[in-house]
A = this chain, B = another copy of it.
Amino acid sequence: MPEETGHAKVRAPGFHHFGIGVSHGDSMSFTLEQLAARFGGRIEGDPTRRVSSFAPLDQAGPEQLAFLANPKYLQQVESTRAGAVLITDEAVAELKGRGNVLAQHAFIVTPNPYAYFARVAQVFLAALEPPVESNIHPTAVIDSTARVAASAIIGPYVVIEAGAEIGENVRIDAHGFVGRGTKIGAGGRLHPRVTIYHGCTIGERVIVASGAVIGSDGFGFAPDFVGEGEQRTGEWVKIPQVGGVRIGADVEIGANTAIDRGAMADTVIEQGAKLDNLVQVAHNVRIGAYTVIAGCTGIAGSTTIGRHCMIGGAVGMAGHLKLADHVTVTGKSGVSKSLLKPGIYTSAFPAVEHGDWNRSAALLRNLHKLRDRIKALEANLQSKDVPE
């Protein structure tokens, strides 16, 4: 789940990946007033201070931006060497309350330092992306009837079929496939080896990770069998899947996730939804705007999930269900009935010591016997209550 980004636990080593051992675009730097002009926030301290990258509070240097999201790290602000810190009004007040001289500090005060950090960091990182020699790699196979925007970047061995439309500033990395008539909205990013079938519509700024498959046939078959047991003959007859997949703006799709096309209507993922890795979305599912779904979760056909839901990892949902807006399903739960009210729903047991578990499991299987013994006791007692 998004809460579990492990962000609070980050350590420095990762930062060597900034360089990644190859020279590419120089890193960008900003003064605090430039940042505030672009991303908002109130500056406390020297507005001309300049930052060129970011790091956690306890590791940041004078040219780095840090942030305080969790109040319990407040004293790290007092000791940080960061050039500037993204912070809330409350935290600044607290620091002043402690009588700290904040002279050596510079802050950008914002109600959401974590989100502010994320937006700035994206800009820093974009500047580090290596330049691309050619917009369209010579090995890309692009049908003459496909329309590819001039600013789009198409990597090696990408295949784009007839009538496909690739918007401005879209980047499709190596081994990508875009089927006939599929539209990729402006600013989209398909990481290496993303496969999108024909007749799908992908909104603006959609990010798809490697191995994801969008628009594969839904799992639909008409049973056509006669006879029983050994005599049974016949087959499952494939139902043509003629719907498509429609994905809204700002959606992110994880690695090796599979999203099937609809049987006749479309499978739909609304704007701002985020799907993790290895998620299965069956045909005619609808996922509401800003809903997040963690890894290994599977959603069966024609289920509709509301807006702003949070679905944990390894959840299984039956088909033809309806989940209201603002529903949370905890990880590893199974959903076999509609959940029509906002709230948190669960059906997962935490693993315990094997012997203890087996004892409980055995008792569960025989729960009806315990119930019967209680009934007997009640009857027995009642009889005793009869006045002589």
Contact = CB atoms under 8 A, between A and B. Distances in A.
A352 B365 contact: yes
A61 to B, nearest CB: 15
A361 interface: yes
A238 interface: yes
Given A10-B262, A156-B159, 18 more contacts: A5-B221, A6-B319, A14-B244, A14-B262, A20-B198, A21-B163, A115-B224, A118-B222, A130-B180, A213-B277, A234-B290, A300-B313, A313-B316, A336-B350, A343-B353, A345-B353, A370-B370, A381-B381
B18 A277 contact: no
A24 B240 CA distance: 18
Interface stretch (A41-49, A76-84, A187-195): A187-195
Contacts of A199: 17, 20
B331 A331 contact: no
Interface in A210-230: 210-211, 213, 216-225, 229
B334 A332 contact: yes
Nearest to A181: B20
Interface stretch (A28-36, A91-99, A264-272): A264-272
Contacts of A2: 219-223, 236
Interface string A353-379: 110111111011101101101100110
A388 to B, nearest CB: 13
A301 B312 CA distance: 12
A325 B363 CA distance: 30
A70 interface: no
A346 B358 CA distance: 8
A102 interface: no
A174 interface: yes
List 8 A-B pairs, minimum CB-CB distance, nearest first: A6-B302, A22-B163, A4-B319, A314-B316, A10-B264, A14-B243, A5-B220, A20-B181
A380 interface: yes
B378 A373 contact: yes
Interface string A291-317: 010111010111000001000011010
Contacts of A325: 229
Contacts of A283: 5-6
A167 interface: no
A278 interface: yes
Contacts of A149: none
Most buried by B among A56, A326, A365: A365
